[in-house]
Structure 1
């Protein structure tokens, strides 16, 4: 059983690479057969709200470098281009599923967005490859500095990682996530994460540590519902900003 700030999560196939390889292999075959781009995880509303938040706080006029963790079929990155005219050359998606990366690349080709970079990468254990527009010095590379991104996005990846198998110390792989994600962000840049398993307060508790140099910035509001005397929203979207120290 995984414990995160008092919340218990059991390991699940939803946290395994094998599961997501199978899911995206099916979606890739479907795309090839009938042109179906696959499921929009968390629905179009979450996509639209994340794009709107980005346009307000990291506008395309600033020509930001944007990275999505667990980009799947690429829908969120495609929406940034289609809805707000972000530069495809400054967008990158990484996923540990080779089928997801192949699907995203295939859809990008169909949409004439081949300039969006999609790479296979397990960011908990390796750094994303440097895009051509990033020019880190050798000194930065030697120091392990990979803070190249103005905005890092996550829609459901943190949730999936939280369901992964525990290590020999009994820790969920998600314990590595906040520090690894923070490393990728430029000082002053943002992490915008959307979750269906964690509330806003739980995300704050997991990410706001001095080690990560992250501070709370804002959140996205969703319609609320009431059940059993309690009220809440279906999703939580929270933005954190990286400080200079």
Structure 2
């Protein structure tokens, strides 16, 4: 299924996510509930394990999560030994950022940079610094756990194009040469993700796949979610 074939849904609207995180903020303030873990704890663990194997903490990578929500994935990396000052998350919902910041304060994760940012329209270049103290515009590792899915459910433009159509190019632009992009999706198969993120103009190449449990229905087997990694080749 292409992004153009997905019908719009409230899950693709900022209003929906603002409402979700407004409720979750209230729950966090009242009872300490950190909110829903999108795709579940198992998906978070698999993504963290992949990061450890392919972009280990010892390499001191700069890491940006696109659509960080309550920050669960970033906190998983923090617990795995990644440098908090090199971890950053963005979300277009101010409530999500506020919730993640509140949770970070309970996990010694205040050094993680969490900022409100619309990834499709704003460049997240102000979130961290390079070794010389300058603004970091290019990242060693980009993470997405359901954000591309949500964007693909947004309203289409007058030409029937999904807002997600511009997402892969923005990913490719802010990845450092040699950098990796890890994405988990429930709306797209591995082949569909490859078709979107390995076009000649992007220059990204398929790297690897994280295996999830499979289910069989109607004689067909598959996973509920798909996690793939793509790499930006080193420049000659």
219 and 132 in structure 1: CA distance in 2 versus 1, 3 angstrom threshold: closer
The answer to whether structure 1 residue 118 and structure 2 residue 108 are counterparts is no
Of residues 160, 183, 205 in structure 1, which corresponds to 2:150? Answer: 160
* Aligned residue in 2 for 1:62: 59
Unmatched tracts of structure 1, length 5 or more: none
* Aligned residue in 2 for 1:220: 210
Of residues 1, 4, 19 in structure 1, which corresponds to 2:2? Answer: 4
State the alpha-carbon separation in 1 of the partners of residues 12 and 206 from structure 2: 27
Q: 1:198 deviation in Å? A: 0.6
* Aligned residue in 2 for 1:100: 96
What RMSD in Å do the two structures reach over aligned CA positions?
1.8
The answer to whether structure 1 residue 19 and structure 2 residue 9 are counterparts is no
* Aligned residue in 1 for 2:165: 175
Q: 1:137 deviation in Å? A: 10
Alpha-carbon contact 1:213-1:244 (below 8 Å) kept: no
Q: 1:170 deviation in Å? A: 1.6
What is the TM-score of this pair, normalised by structure 1?
0.92
State the alpha-carbon separation in 1 of the partners of residues 121 and 68 from structure 2: 17
34 and 12 in structure 1: CA distance in 2 versus 1, 3 angstrom threshold: same
Alpha-carbon contact 2:115-2:127 (below 8 Å) kept: no
* Aligned residue in 1 for 2:37: 40
How many residue pairs are counted as aligned between the two chains? Answer: 235
Deviates more, 1:165-174 or 1:38-47: 165-174
State the alpha-carbon separation in 1 of the partners of residues 186 and 216 from structure 2: 16
Of residues 48, 52, 62 in structure 2, which corresponds to 1:51? Answer: 48
Unmatched tracts of structure 2, length 5 or more: none
What is the TM-score of this pair, normalised by structure 2?
0.95
